[in-house]
Amino acid sequence: MTDISTSLGAPAKGSRLFARAGLIGLPLVVILALMASAGVRYGLLLAIGVGFGLTLEGLRFGFAGPWRAMILRREPAGLIAQLLAIGLVAVVAFPLLSGDHPELIGAHAAVGWSMVGGAFVFGAAMQLLLGCGSGTLVNAGSGNPVSVVALPFFVVGAFAGSYHLLWWTDLGHLPLVVLEGSRGLVITLLGLLIVGLGALFLAPKQARFVPRRLLVAAVLLAALAIANFAVAGQPWGVVYGLGLWAAKGASALGADLTASSYWASPVHQERLVSSLLTDYTSLTNLGIILGAFIVAAWRSGLSTRLPSLPARAWLATVIAGFLLGYSSRLALGCNVGAFFSGISTGSLHGWVWFVAAFAGAWVGIRLRKPLGLEG
Amino acid sequence: MTGFFMSRAFPASATLLAVVALLVFDLQTSKSLNPYTAPAAIMLGSDEAASGAFCALVPPGK
């Protein structure tokens, strides 16, 4: 039997060039084929998704890990890089949304009970898995077994959460608050600056710097998010696409999704009968998985030995995966759709999400050891 | 060298296979792709309405 870990992980010099040519050629062929068979926009979004995956995995840019580093060791570098990326997107997104572009929408949602609770649970679950919305996709693509096990439950949870979403939002919410125009942009940038300076203030002196790798990643991520916004007309998101995957499966198995006010709406009914290859968030999600796989295979990372975890850790992974999906729908987005895209397009719910999820992360970090997830 | 089933190559390959299976299933059960009815390459500057299929957007209740 061919040892794939050998061929992908540490190929002989002669075959390495061939393997790497394949890793470059594979996404190019898939993107061009999609452009030809479905339309240029869909190929572009898949390409943007691959770019997200390459950036996140290649430059080790994440959300869950930096929050853990901030909470446990007061290392602010990763968090500051996230804030920088959000600020860069905001500088472009605010003028576009204030201009005469009715085809563009921001990640705007109202702050409500279920939104806050969902963000708190998501923060805890993402620390249990050490993977957020985008991080779980990246980790699954690069062969992290915890994320591979969690991902299907994340998908099912996102579907279940969206199925019940209107029941939860009916529990009560504030009016929609959106920061707009130059004033809104200044307030947003000031808010990001204050959080960043606060993180630096709390950090020990030796940790008060941001590595160049993370600065480059923040700029690339911002550029890709802006491209996503321009091409799709909506900000970068993750969990809608995941919920749609399970919804299509349930529908194919005969489930009547019109019983859900959410899935019965015309927008989502149209998505259910259309291909995932024409759904914006599905395309970037698939691209993230592919991009992360390419980086991991390129680096020979796929030869890394799998960890040995106790049974309770796998059970916790399954439950946390489901909660990650369910809570992210209640929270009206994950670290990408609510935190990154919400703040960068002026939605107050992005800021509230950040506070609630950070509090949840503090709890999740403390649950890892009792659940056997610390190895 | 770590064997295939004991290395990250196994879960990574399983993920890619699952993605391929998802897409095969999707193409079997969804409307056919048609590049001749495709929207403009870029939404910005087009006259299209936003799709509304996004994490933050909640449809009105029944």
pLDDT tens track for A156-167: 999 999 999 999
From the candidates B44, B55, B62, which should be mutated to test the interface with A, based on the most A CB atoms within 10 A?
A: B55
**By percentage, how much of chain A surpasses pLDDT 70?**
96
**Domain locations in chain A?**
14-368
Q: Kindly indicate the confidence band of residue B24, based on its pLDDT and cuts at 50, 70 and 90.
A: very high
Nearest-angstrom CA–CA distance, B4 and A43: 32
- Looking at residue A10, its pLDDT comes to 53
Does residue A14 carry a pLDDT above 80?
Answer: no
Distance from CA of A120 to the nearest CA of B (A): 16
Looking at beta carbons, which residues of chain B come within 8 Å of A9? 1-2, 7, 9
Nearest CA in chain A to B17: A141
Q: Half-sphere exposure (CA, 13 Å, Cβ side) for A27? A: 25
Sign of the CA dihedral running A132, A133, A134, A139:
positive
Please compute the mean of the pLDDT values over residues A274-303 and round it to a whole number. Answer: 95
Distance from CA of A177 to the nearest CA of B (A): 13
**By percentage, how much of chain B surpasses pLDDT 90?**
69
Please compute the mean of the pLDDT values over residues A128-134 and round it to a whole number. Answer: 94
In a domain, B44, yes or no: no
**By percentage, how much of chain A surpasses pLDDT 90?**
90
Residue for token pair 């729908």: A329
Nearest-angstrom CA–CA distance, A34 and A31: 5
Contact A42 B56 (CB under 8 A): no
Between the alpha carbon of residue A300 and those of residues A19, A291, A296, the distances in Å are 11, 14, 6
Q: Is B46 on the interface with A (CB under 8 A)?
A: yes
- Looking at residue A331, its pLDDT comes to 98
Inter-chain Cβ pairs, chain A and chain B, closer than 8 A: 234
Lowest mean pLDDT among A101-105, A238-242, A273-277, B3-7: B3-7
Structural domain containing residue B19? 4-29
Q: Kindly indicate the confidence band of residue B2, based on its pLDDT and cuts at 50, 70 and 90.
A: low
- Looking at residue A3, its pLDDT comes to 44
Nearest CA in chain B to A306: B7
Contact A301 B8 (CB under 8 A): yes
In a domain, B51, yes or no: no
Does residue A1 carry a pLDDT above 80?
Answer: no
Q: Is B24 on the interface with A (CB under 8 A)?
A: no
In a domain, B16, yes or no: yes
Distance from CA of A212 to the nearest CA of B (A): 28
Contact B10 A42 (CB under 8 A): no
Looking at beta carbons, which residues of chain A come within 8 Å of B49? 102-103
Burial of A22-53, coded b for 16+ CB within 10 Å and e otherwise, reads ebeeebeebbeebbebbbbbbbbbbbbbbbbb
- Looking at residue A6, its pLDDT comes to 45
Q: Kindly indicate the confidence band of residue B37, based on its pLDDT and cuts at 50, 70 and 90.
A: very high
Q: Kindly indicate the confidence band of residue A301, based on its pLDDT and cuts at 50, 70 and 90.
A: confident
Contact A306 B47 (CB under 8 A): no
Distance from CA of B24 to the nearest CA of A (A): 10
From the candidates A302, A332, A336, A341, which should be mutated to test the interface with B, based on the most B CB atoms within 10 A?
A: A302
Considering only CB atoms, A275 lies closest to which of B2, B3, B27, namely B27
Nearest-angstrom CA–CA distance, A344 and A90: 4
- Looking at residue A4, its pLDDT comes to 44
Nearest-angstrom CA–CA distance, A287 and A283: 6
- ipTM, two decimals: 0.95
In a domain, B46, yes or no: no
In a domain, B12, yes or no: yes
Q: Which comes out higher in pLDDT, residue A74 or A307?
A: A74
Express each pLDDT in A344-363 by its tens digit: 999 999 999 999 999 999 99
Q: Is B20 on the interface with A (CB under 8 A)?
A: no
Closest CA relative to residue A97, chosen from A254, A251, A281, A234: A234
Mention every residue, 6+ apart, whose C-beta is less than 8 A from residue A257.
Answer: A163, A247, A250, A251, A263, A264, A268, A272
Does residue B9 carry a pLDDT above 60?
Answer: yes
Rg (CA), chain A: 20
In a domain, B10, yes or no: yes
Please compute the mean of the pLDDT values over residues A76-82 and round it to a whole number. Answer: 98
Q: Give the tokens for residue A90.
A: 């905001």
Looking at beta carbons, which residues of chain B come within 8 Å of A306? 6-8, 10-11
Contact A280 B6 (CB under 8 A): no
- Looking at residue A307, its pLDDT comes to 87
In a domain, B11, yes or no: yes
Please compute the mean of the pLDDT values over residues A258-281 and round it to a whole number. Answer: 95
Contact B51 A267 (CB under 8 A): yes
Lowest mean pLDDT among A164-178, A236-250, A293-307: A293-307
Q: Kindly indicate the confidence band of residue A16, based on its pLDDT and cuts at 50, 70 and 90.
A: confident
Distance from CA of A84 to the nearest CA of B (A): 22
Q: Kindly indicate the confidence band of residue A7, based on its pLDDT and cuts at 50, 70 and 90.
A: very low
CA A336 from centre of chain: 5
- Looking at residue B11, its pLDDT comes to 96
Q: Kindly indicate the confidence band of residue A329, based on its pLDDT and cuts at 50, 70 and 90.
A: very high
Lowest mean pLDDT among A176-185, A235-244, A262-271, A297-306: A297-306
**Average pLDDT, whole number, for chain A?**
94
Give me the DSSP letters along A265-321.
Answer: SHHHHHHHHS-GGG-HHHHHHHHHHHHHHHHHHHTTGGGSBPP---HHHHHHHHHHH
How many domains, chain B?
A: 1
Looking at beta carbons, which residues of chain B come within 8 Å of A246? none
Distance from CA of B60 to the nearest CA of A (A): 8
